[in-house]
Amino acid sequence: MKIAYFEAFAGASGNMILGAILDAGLELEKLQEGLRALQLTGYTISATKVKKRGIAGTFVDVKVEGPQEERRLPDIERIILESALPERVKTLSLKAFRRLAEAEAKVHNIPVEEVHFHEVGAVDAIVDVVGSILGLELLGVEEVYVSPLHLGYGMVKSAHGLLPVPAPATMELIKGVPVYGWDVEAELLTPTGAAILTTLACSFGSPPPFKLEKLGYGAGFWDLPFPNLLRLCIGEKEAPGYEEDYVTVLEANIDDMNPQWFDHLIERLLEAGALDAYLSPIQMKKGRPGVKLGVIVQEEKLGPVLDAIFRESTTIGVRAYRAKRWKLEREEIPVLTPFGEVKVKVARRGGQILNIAPEYEDCRKLAKEKGVALKEVYQAALGEARKRMREGLDGAI
């Protein structure tokens, strides 16, 4: 599997991402040809080799002829949807602009549909967003990983006047993302750059082991005390047949909480976005019996889950660590039994089915409605699912 890793030691902007992709080997002519699917006119895109603190990189400049019209989200969505771009590129581009619109809407307290994109709605930003996603697609990249993001500080001019750095929309976009560096007076991470990277990233931090094949540097406009470059590494990741991602594991030791409340706590944690929550009996200091609360959560849901822990439990502290997770490929299929329809989870590795499990809640509901044993419904659903597998409708055991 081909992966990309962006090292944002000098932040990131739309043109830096595009520059890194071109510097890594994508031909400018191929990018231009792909972007014609948008049917946008009145702009040119150029790529120039430059040096930043002695390191060579590619600077991309999108020049627009004449004044640009302000666009709202529906306008941009229509341009993308009516284009002949690959479906995956359309989907990710729409997601990136939707996230930008939602960030701006929250900052200005207006409906998403009323957001005037100003800078990010201009043709050059559409080219940056769609071009970056299209460029990675043309390079065959399947997964994207990103380092912690360098931010900078100060003030920046915008259509709304002077804004603090990072811009308010940028701050909304990077919630739940590891960031650092209020140490350089410059806008290192732009809203467009943040939208692209947070939309594409599987995770932030170190990438999985991979064989480095291509390397590219995208140059920023400013000259900084360090190389103003975004580094892109592309290579092959070994495919063990499992899906991989990273999760955050939260833990808290509790010895002073009414045990009747734990069921409510677990329910609230799952509602807040936890992937899983569990309890383990422990013996604490002075021989007191206690409970260790464990919660598995994706980074973007960390805030709501932490809020739920402190609000619904008696703990006054939570530990956290990052963990790698391997998963089987999973899908959910409906099967028809004599008692009704049951959803069945099917887990595969490399196309081989390793596990089939009827959904417990579906089985329980039908057992209660039909007045039969739960195990009868479960076995009927399992048998029907295995029959479908043997017939080759959904794979092979």
Query: Residue 187 corresponds to which amino acid?
Result: E
What pLDDT is stored for residue 125 in this prediction? Answer: 85
- pLDDT-derived band of residue 118, with 50, 70 and 90 as boundaries? low
Is residue 167 within 8 A of residue 188, CB to CB? The reply is no
Maximum distance among all alpha carbons in the chain?
A: 77
Which residues face 193 on adjacent strands? none
Which one has a higher pLDDT value, 72 or 60? Answer: 60
pLDDT for 235 beyond 60: yes
**CA–CA gap between residue 295 and residue 266 (Å, rounded):** 9
- The share of the chain scoring above pLDDT 90, in percent, equals 77
What pLDDT is stored for residue 120 in this prediction? Answer: 45
Cis peptide leading into residue 166 (ω within 30°) = yes
**CA–CA gap between residue 153 and residue 259 (Å, rounded):** 47
Q: Which two tokens stand for residue 364?
A: 């329980």
- Buried-exposed string 206-238: b where 16+ CB fall within 10 A, e elsewhere: ebbebeeebebbbbbeeebeebbbbbbbbbebe
| Section 354-372 average pLDDT | 96
Give me the helices (H) in the chain, please.
Answer: 14-23, 28-35, 73-81, 87-108, 123-138, 168-173, 191-200, 262-271, 302-312, 360-370, 374-390
Q: Tell me the HSE value of 386 on the side-chain side, using a 13 A CA sphere.
A: 10
What residues contact 87, with CB distance under 8 A and at least 6 apart?
A: none
- pLDDT-derived band of residue 47, with 50, 70 and 90 as boundaries? very high
What pLDDT is stored for residue 124 in this prediction? Answer: 85
Tell me the helices (H) and strands (E) count for the chain, helix number first: 11, 18
Alpha-carbon distances of 77 from 74, 130, 280, rounded to whole Å: 5, 12, 48
CATH code at 329-390: 3.10.20.300
Distance of alpha carbon 166 from its chain centroid, rounded?
A: 20
What pLDDT is stored for residue 238 in this prediction? Answer: 72
What residues contact 380, with CB distance under 8 A and at least 6 apart?
A: 337, 338, 339, 342
The predicted-structure confidence for 259-293, as pLDDT tens digits, reads as follows 999 999 999 999 999 999 999 999 999 899 999 99
Query: Residue 28 corresponds to which amino acid?
Result: L
**CA–CA gap between residue 379 and residue 373 (Å, rounded):** 10
Task: Give the domain ranges of the chain.
Answer: 2-236, 244-327, 329-390
- pLDDT-derived band of residue 397, with 50, 70 and 90 as boundaries? very low
Q: State the CATH class of domain 244-327.
A: alpha beta
For the ranges 116-120, 328-332, 387-391, the lowest mean pLDDT is seen at 116-120
Q: Which two tokens stand for residue 130?
A: 């769609």
Q: Which two tokens stand for residue 85?
A: 């771009």
The predicted-structure confidence for 29-45, as pLDDT tens digits, reads as follows 999 999 999 998 888 99
- pLDDT-derived band of residue 203, with 50, 70 and 90 as boundaries? very high
**CA–CA gap between residue 10 and residue 152 (Å, rounded):** 9
Which residues face 244 on adjacent strands? 326
Q: What pTM, to 2 d.p., does this model score? A: 0.64
- pLDDT-derived band of residue 395, with 50, 70 and 90 as boundaries? very low
pLDDT for 392 beyond 90: no
For the ranges 102-116, 118-132, 226-240, 382-396, the lowest mean pLDDT is seen at 382-396
What pLDDT is stored for residue 157 in this prediction? Answer: 78
Which one has a higher pLDDT value, 17 or 327? Answer: 17
- pLDDT-derived band of residue 137, with 50, 70 and 90 as boundaries? very high
What pLDDT is stored for residue 207 in this prediction? Answer: 92
Mean pLDDT, the chain, whole residue set = 92
Q: Which two tokens stand for residue 17?
A: 């991402």
What pLDDT is stored for residue 88 in this prediction? Answer: 92
What pLDDT is stored for residue 163 in this prediction? Answer: 83
- pLDDT-derived band of residue 240, with 50, 70 and 90 as boundaries? low
pLDDT for 121 beyond 50: no
Q: Tell me the HSE value of 188 on the side-chain side, using a 13 A CA sphere.
A: 25
Question: Reduced to 3 states, what is the DSSP secondary structure of residue 380?
Answer: helix
